[in-house]
């Protein structure tokens, strides 16, 4: 017997950290050096094979980082959230912490949250150490990963590690 499970996933984080780029890599395996800032939010879906018997369909809300579009409706009934920061911008981790706090207060208590440090291809410009981010994620009970939408490194793993934490029955 095979089964398909469906989950709502929301991407949150400061503008330009690469939320849309991560989704584009995950859904179409593409990357653009010149992506336009998202207006409002974009909706996409992608299905992954978790094991022989299980496929997981993600319904993805790629939100806009620009403050004027901020709207809680995208995470209200989300099963999971990817909160993204840019490893070359330490201020983007502060913004990610703000999002995590907001999710912890306002989202469904069972929400699975993954903190993602994007742009891992820009190692020479790194401002956020792995240790700092990982320690924070551990303290808050979040999954944590680094990825590069540009190279594709770690992108698929973000979604599979979330899928493994979701209730699969
Ligand atoms: P908003 O829609 O404004 O919230 O921004 P966003 O978080 O969706 O960022 P977006 O995906 O539009 O990417 C912003 C810029 O960062 C673009 O110029 C991308 O090409 C670049 N970018 C995204 N991911 C990566 C990455 O992994 N590595 C590098 N080097 N650049 C990236
Ligand atoms: Mg975007």
Instruction: Tell me what pLDDT residue 71 has.
Output: 67
Is 37 within 8 Å of 88 (Cβ atoms)? no
Q: Pocket of ligand 1, candidates 12, 13, 21, 153: which has the most ligand atoms within 8 Å of its Cβ, to mutate? A: 21
ipTM of the complex: 0.99
Instruction: Tell me what pLDDT residue 58 has.
Output: 98
Instruction: Tell me what pLDDT residue 31 has.
Output: 97
Q: Is the pTM of this model over 0.95?
A: yes
3-state secondary structure of 157: helix
Three-state secondary structure string covering 26-61: HHHCCCCCCCCCCCCEEEEEEEEEEECCEEEEEEEE
Atom of ligand 1 at shortest range from CA of 63: 4
Atom of ligand 1 at shortest range from CA of 148: 27
Instruction: Tell me what pLDDT residue 150 has.
Output: 98
Distance CA 110, CA 19 (A): 22
Task: Tell me which residue has its CA closest to atom 5 in ligand 1.
Answer: 16
For residue 18 and ligand 1, the question of a CB distance below 6 A is answered with yes
Phi-psi group of 84: left, alpha or beta (phi > 0 → left; psi -120 to 50 → alpha; rest → beta): beta
Query: Token digits for 125?
Result: 């410009």
Q: Report residues of the chain scoring pLDDT below 50.
A: none
Instruction: Tell me what pLDDT residue 138 has.
Output: 98
Instruction: Tell me what pLDDT residue 121 has.
Output: 98
Is 38 within 8 Å of 119 (Cβ atoms)? no
Q: Considering every ligand atom, which ligand is closest to the CA of 64?
A: 1
Instruction: Tell me what pLDDT residue 1 has.
Output: 73
Instruction: Tell me what pLDDT residue 66 has.
Output: 85
Q: Pocket of ligand 1, candidates 10, 25, 33, 35: which has the most ligand atoms within 8 Å of its Cβ, to mutate? A: 35
Instruction: Tell me what pLDDT residue 144 has.
Output: 98
């Amino acid at each position: 017997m095979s089964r398909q499970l469906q989950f709502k996933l929301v991407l949150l984080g400061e503008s330009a950290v690469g939320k849309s780029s991560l989704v584009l890599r995950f859904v179409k395996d593409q990357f653009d050096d010149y992506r336009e800032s998202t207006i409002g939010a974009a909706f996409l879906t992608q299905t992954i094979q978790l094991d022989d018997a299980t496929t997981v369909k993600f319904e993805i809300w790629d939100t806009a980082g620009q403050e004027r579009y901020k709207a809680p409706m995208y995470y209200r009934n989300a099963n999971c959230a990817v909160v993204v920061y840019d490893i070359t911008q330490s201020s983007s981790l502060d913004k990610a912490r703000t999002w995590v706090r907001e999710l912890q207060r306002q989202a469904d208590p069972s929400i699975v949250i993954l903190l993602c440090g994007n742009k891992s291809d820009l190692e020479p410009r790194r401002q956020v150490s792995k240790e700092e981010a990982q320690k924070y994620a551990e303290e808050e009970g979040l999954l944590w990963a680094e990825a590069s939408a540009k190279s594709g490194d770690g992108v698929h793993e973000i979604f599979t590690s979330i899928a493994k934490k979701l209730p699969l029955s």
